[in-house]
Structure 1
């Protein structure tokens, strides 16, 4: 009997690099005593107290779910949830008077909508999304899913741990060659931990105006920066006063996942100062009906927080990560001085490059699979393995070409401080064990 035929897309699909290690570990028949998973940014901290209050009182008289009824919201989301995102920006000093907010199922849905809204037709090379490699792998995956083209300019990781952006004239050459519809920036970068300053953002914004492109800023980690005396950077801080013509072409992607510690809430937003983009995006999203109603209500609590409360929360989260990130950064260098570790400037990620300490032919994915499927080391008497994310999928590079991610990994600071302290020793021991086996 004939079997039903899968699509070519499904036949070729492999797990995202950020989920690969966990999926393969789940399949492991004989597991070690302990596993530490820093392969995905699944934050384990409690969410904001105002959000917790709503989460634990969904049946309170003032809750829209008090009678047990959970209806659709409008496609653009509850107005209170929209106001929560605007309130955070207002409290941080940005003018939100002309901003339009659309609530989405997590930042991920916002990414897909964005690509649909700024790129050319499916299956063409028209108006690609321009990214800065290495870029968050979900943008690449979503573009592939809906048949849109992406182009990149490449950063390089120096031995000093700094990622260097190409000169603006080099970026301009790529723009002239490919005529992109939009430029994506992640000022508090995932996966590199790089922190953009305003001068860099303004320089990129000028190119977007010059070549009539949208500028898109993924601001999932906006409040998480660790460089002394640096200022809060956002696309909403770049106005016509700085870059004439930039207003009306700005878009940001927001999420409850990281700063607000609510990954599983699956609430995000697409914010723009272009009313037509907002109208068309909401129209496109009507097929999805609406985002998670209960999640919207929980996050809506932040619409009523004061400037002082928002600032205090963000400061506490920033200090928590800063202490942990620097401890792991220093620990990796102490365990193996030959490692190249990205400078811990922003977000909740560090990139580790093993290119100077491994034998030729090393492949990051093979090492991740080894750790997930068979590897383990003794850590204080406990057999333990470590799950990290290979960086190959974060580079938009054609098959057959040299991929810098072949020797690079992303570490997410999502485990407890106690477990994060174990990461440097576990990573280096597992790396040496793997190298000895091949």
Structure 2
């Protein structure tokens, strides 16, 4: 029998999706499952985006330019201008989701066995992207005791080797919800300038910041215009995860020219999704105001309920819609599976994401889970109560 590649064998499973078969079995048994495991917002997609697809006048669903349609990139540049980010359409490549933008970035700036430093815990698919690209992740651990703040810059510097090509951050963070301050971004900017590295920032949650905090983009740091690569997406901003439209943004012309070659190899991003995404840029500010108010309310509810559980430690997010909770157990993977297979309260149970998959350091995060607060408050309260009752039974078992 022909053999599977080493790369394929090393490709990690998604910690978010690997429990799906157990959830499906729970459904078959008639259980209700509260999904805290995946960042799929229940907020409605702006009607203006959906209507644009319904009323389009296309006779042929044709390719667009490999870098994305001219009109859409022009409007994206205007959107960034309104965010105090000075870019033009020529600094933007439209991609099939933020995932493809990250793959293009990795492919454009790193060779096999090169290294990228990432504060962990981090978005689980970074592990997959690095494996697919033959790149090695070098983690620097942020801690729940510090609310997952940026680790000391000296810890980054100690990890830099001749193979280090970039530092990657997610801001605000998935899975932590941490929002890096302007001062922290400036420290990273100084570091990448000093060592001539790239700074990649996954900024897909930029709109979702709370408690008066403001998002500060790496693209606002003029001193690193040749070092900065921004990743963005419409998925969370407009609750359009299924559109699969993102973009790679950089003022570095060599990066854009190289990423364009990767874009040409996959021909073009999806046409109808670009039409929807272009229309979504006309979404009024009031949409985001109400969405942010809703997420703040959900976050506060979730944190308050989790803090009622004895032995649970939780970090308070400043952005995005995730938090990490540390449970009084040894193995969150086992607990998450057990919840779906063996536990319910009046026919209801919960699906969570074990946090170990958001680390690359073995053994770290084993007793942590990521919770996405993308459900209504009433459902969040029910879900946390189920977790509370489950912990009592699980620990005895």
- TM-score > 0.5 by shorter chain: yes
State how many pairs are aligned: 397
Q: 1:140 aligns with which of 127, 130, 134?
A: 127
How big is the shift at 1:94? 2.4
1:331 correspondence with 2:299: no
Alpha-carbon contact 2:298-2:376 (below 8 Å) kept: no
Q: 1:164–1:302: structure 2 CA closer, same or farther, 3 Å change rule?
A: closer
> Match of 1:243?
none
- CA deviation map 1:416-436 (0-9, x unaligned): 333223221122222222222
Structure 1 residues 212 and 23: alpha-carbon distance in aligned structure 2, compared to 1, 3 A threshold: farther
Please list, as runs of the form range in 1=range in 2, the aligned pairs for 1:276-287 lying within 5 A after superposition: 276-287=254-265
1:275–1:14 distance in 2 versus 1, CA, 3 Å:
closer
- Equivalent residue for 2:321, pick from 337, 348, 363: 348
Q: Distance in 2 between matches of 1:108 and 1:42?
A: 15
TM-score when normalising by structure 2: 0.94
Mapped to 2, the partners of 1:21 and 1:70 lie a distance apart of 36
**1:21-420 to 2 correspondence within 5 Å?**
21-27=19-25, 30-58=28-56, 63=57, 65=58, 67=59, 69-97=60-88, 100-119=91-110, 121-122=111-112, 124=113, 126=114, 128-158=115-145, 162-175=147-160, 177=161, 179-228=163-212, 230-240=213-223, 246-303=224-281, 305=282, 310-334=284-308, 336-354=309-327, 357-358=328-329, 362-372=330-340, 374-378=341-345, 382-398=346-362, 403-420=363-380
Unaligned runs of 5+ in 1: 241-245
RMSD after superposition: 2.0
Task: Indicate the SS of the match to 2:348.
Answer: strand
Instruction: Provide structure 2 residue ranges, at least 5 long, that are not aligned to the other structure.
Output: none
Partner-residue secondary structure (3-state), 2:342: coil
- Measured in 2, the distance between the counterparts of 1:410 and 1:394 equals 9
For 1:291 and 1:98, the matched residues in 2 are separated by 16
Residues 142 and 151, structure 2, Cα contact 8 Å, conserved in 1: yes
Q: Please give the per-residue CA displacement for 1:1-53, whole angstroms capped at 9, x wherever unaligned.
A: xx444334444555300112224322558524201111111122211232122
Q: Using the alignment, how far apart are the partners of 1:14 and 1:239 within structure 2?
A: 36
CA distance in 1, matches of 2:40, 2:27: 24
Q: Deviations over 1:319-357 (max 9, x none)?
A: 1111111111101112x1421111121111010001xx3
